[in-house]
Structure 1
């Protein structure tokens, strides 16, 4: 069965998608419904669904805000320079040009030392068995259940340990600085929480994968770790980061016009594309990074968790995206292990089994501090000003796992 399709079918599919998006916009404009725009980000709590466009800020055609901040000329983005990092690069050795006559001399001398292939003996000792001789002895092999085709393709059990070890190394290289907000002069942790809360709504509106949301937050935090951003451009950073993550993760990512549309046309397509280019340069094009979502999903598969336990673990994991001050200091795999353990505790299961300890290479003591922070977050989720994640997991799709009347958190911390 072929999965390829002709150019005419692809053009027809693309035209239908564009016509559907255009009709949706016309219906929304005719009915007077509001877009999923964030509006002006301040330290105040965002009131839903009021999302007006930014006012009082003049943008030129390149998206540069005019005005002055802190008595200096307004620059939307400023590069952070660490004082303790040496600015000089190590000197590179100068390679000498290769002389052609030396190459010819080396080749000729090598050919003289090589024996002709026809005169080389095939086997000197007759007692040595040929490697092509088949072993005809019959061995009793224990019958094992054959792995399903899906398990072989998606989990690659032969390389599972090597893949996990490699991702544990990669998460150390591609992580944000936990204290980057101290260097930001015009944005705060509260503004970041409002932005992430809005991005959760956007991901639900466009039915994006959970991994796309986690990649988006990773790009935002890593970008803000290296660049000082003004609050008027924070939403642009978030929209461009999700656009980039969707192009990497989704099969059919939303068009760039959709990300300009959800900002209530506060930014143009050109501004989103220019911001995407800037993010890629700052991140050095390292967009394939392991996230806490991948680790948590792997841990849940290894312990064969049921659907409710899986939903609760993912709810706890997404709740860590809002609070950067608490959870950026932990590795993604540590946060995933704490979420899995707390979800099993809340469901009345054994918190951490020997199988989980073996596959994760973590003991409870390795993530105990993160576990206690996560338990506090779990108990206070219904009081959090940002409720997009809680509303998402109150739906029937996730078994209403965020409804504390049905699934209350444990009365006390298990550890």
Structure 2
């Protein structure tokens, strides 16, 4: 496990949590009572409400989500690290994200950066934590309004690396990835799907808990972000209703049969999380700020219900 320091971290390095969490206000934040007209250059396409914009935007996201996904078998080319080491790293980064109060999207982008970099570069086990902290540093620059200083990141790693090592690794990572950090994550789709299904706050956090569990599990790289998000909201919706079939609006472009494998893997992961050695995500979602939803996660009885469909 990685060592970490937080006790004496400057207060300014911790993001303020003031204000109410608003979910379902993804990407566009347009007023629903206005009419919007696309310019002549777009053939005078008229979209009457913001919902039309949402629909068009997410069609594009569905079409482009695979553009920046790592190969599902990239770990085979790594000589000194494995999927278990990756899981330990990400579980540690979840703790960092939670204690530093970074945006949730920062964590998802961080994991994507790590996986894409590991796909393209050989990394030793001694460098893996450095890759993780630099990936989060890059993600913070992209997602956060207040970015931590390098000295704060070094402090968190218990001085495992120097400032020069952080700068060199960050430079190498952005060059290898060609500065491509505009990606589509499963969290983006969750925001949309939760809004469509009118999730309450607790249901949203439960679905997000499921998504974060998949970040640690290397096997989920093979699934598209939208499929993982759809699987999570389907499970939460069925869990809250206790019955009924998986039939949803067209804005969630999946039938149950299309994501059954992903959903089954997710259910197994949810159940495994109760007893797995890595408890960072479970502990995070056991707090009051996350409405203690990890205590509500469906159990093995729910697994049997899903398998029977």
Identify the TM-score tier after normalising by the shorter chain: 0.7 to 0.9
Q: 2:227 aligns with which of 303, 314, 334?
A: 334
Q: 2:84 aligns with which of 183, 190, 205?
A: 190
TM-score using structure 1 length: 0.61
* 5+ residue gaps, structure 1: 1-21, 28-145, 150-154
Match of 1:367 in 2: 259
Q: 1:387 aligns with which of 275, 279, 289?
A: 279
- The superposition leaves residues 309-349 of structure 1 with CA deviations (integer Å, 9 ceiling, x where unpaired) of 1111111111001111x201100110010011111122225
Give how far 1:411 is off.
Answer: 5.3
Where do 1:15-414 residues align within 5 Å? Answer: 24-25=8-9, 147=32, 156-324=50-218, 326-348=219-241, 350=244, 352-355=246-249, 358-403=250-295, 408=299, 410=302, 412-414=304-306
Does the aligned pair in 1 maintain the 2:231–2:262 contact within 8 Å?
Answer: yes
**After TM superposition, where is structure 1 displaced by more than 6 Å over at least 4 residues in a row?**
none
Give how far 1:203 is off.
Answer: 0.4
RMSD (Å) for aligned C-alpha atoms: 2.3
Does the aligned pair in 1 maintain the 2:133–2:153 contact within 8 Å?
Answer: yes
Determine helix, strand or coil for the equivalent of 2:281. helix
Give how far 1:275 is off.
Answer: 1.1
* 5+ residue gaps, structure 2: 1-5, 12-30, 35-48
Determine helix, strand or coil for the equivalent of 2:184. coil
Give how far 1:161 is off.
Answer: 2.4
Question: 2: CA distance between counterparts of 1:156 and 1:24?
Answer: 45
- The superposition leaves residues 204-242 of structure 1 with CA deviations (integer Å, 9 ceiling, x where unpaired) of 111011100000000000000111111110000000000
Match of 2:3 in 1: none
Give how far 1:26 is off.
Answer: 8.9
Larger relative contact order (C-alpha < 8 A, sep ≥ 6)? 2
Does the aligned pair in 1 maintain the 2:74–2:119 contact within 8 Å?
Answer: yes
TM-score using structure 2 length: 0.81
Aligned residues: 267
Does the aligned pair in 2 maintain the 1:236–1:267 contact within 8 Å?
Answer: yes
Give how far 1:365 is off.
Answer: 1.3
Which structure shows the higher helix fraction? Answer: 2
Question: 2: CA distance between counterparts of 1:157 and 1:254?
Answer: 36
Match of 1:120 in 2: none
Question: 2: CA distance between counterparts of 1:365 and 1:411?
Answer: 16
